[in-house]
Amino acid sequence: MLREAIAAEDPDWLLFGGDLCRHLTDLAEAVAALGTLTARRGAFAVPGNRERAHCWLPDDFWPGRFAQAGFRYLQNAALDLGPFLLAGLDDPRYGQPDPTVLDPCRTAGKPVLTLWHSPDGPAAASGQYLGDLVLAGHTHGGQLRFPLLGPLYTSSLYGRQFDRDWFERTDGTRLYVTTGCGETGTPLLRRRLLCPPEIVVLQPA
């Protein structure tokens, strides 16, 4: 269903926000599934906490695995894609994000889009230039949401403050936190309640 939904959009670019799989025993299957997703002009991924938690792996491990699926792995890097600039930052929990890679983008004269696994990254980067739009996930929108209460848990240092949807910083940078399309937790809790999965489709203004 996910593959069909993405194919129906016929995207120019695909952006994957990290956390390909929870356990390395599932990696081959996850890479194969990711490789079925296609875009006309390119596909990019950033590290999530699941990738960076495996700290014993060599530096080229994840770039190589994502390359097998046709995705370029951005870990503190910025690219000029023509109509816009794309930056990808390291996971804020287990990695070493370096937002200064965005500094040269400030004067590029093009829209700047930043892909960052968790909203904890931009929330903590006060005063740092992050571009025009930051896309994040990680929280799954809480995954289990309840009427009036919202999510009980988001795996964020900021609790429910950045659980999902749109936010805007005082410098004008906008942040969108997606509920994503995966699930996590113990088998009993690995499900969604009042929190449907989503893919985010961006159209040029």
203 found inside a domain: no
Whether 45 is covered by a domain: the verdict is: yes
Per-chain mean pLDDT for the chain: 95
Task: Give the total number of structural domains in the chain.
Answer: 1
In whole angstroms, give the CA distance from residue 60 to residue 8. Answer: 33
- Whether 188 is in a domain gets the answer no
User: Mean pLDDT over residues 160-177, rounded?
Assistant: 96
Mean pLDDT confidence for 40-66 = 96
Residue 43 lies in a domain: yes
**Residue 84: partners with Cβ closer than 8 Å, 6 or more residues away:** 110, 111, 112, 113
User: What is the mean predicted confidence (pLDDT) over 28-56?
Assistant: 96
Residue 27 lies in a domain: yes
CATH at 36: 3.60.21.10
> Residue 205: is its pLDDT beyond 90?
no
The answer to whether residue 193 sits within a structural domain is no
Domain that holds residue 48: 2-177
Confidence label for 202 from pLDDT (cuts 50, 70 and 90):
very high
Joined together, the tokens standing for residue 79 give 């690219």
pTM, two decimals, is 0.95
Rounded CA gap, 130 and 68, in Å?
A: 29
What is the predicted pLDDT for the residue at 55? 84
User: Is residue 121 assigned to a domain?
Assistant: yes
pLDDT in tens, 72-95: 999 999 999 999 999 999 999 999
Query: Does position 128 have pLDDT exceeding 80, yes or no?
Result: yes
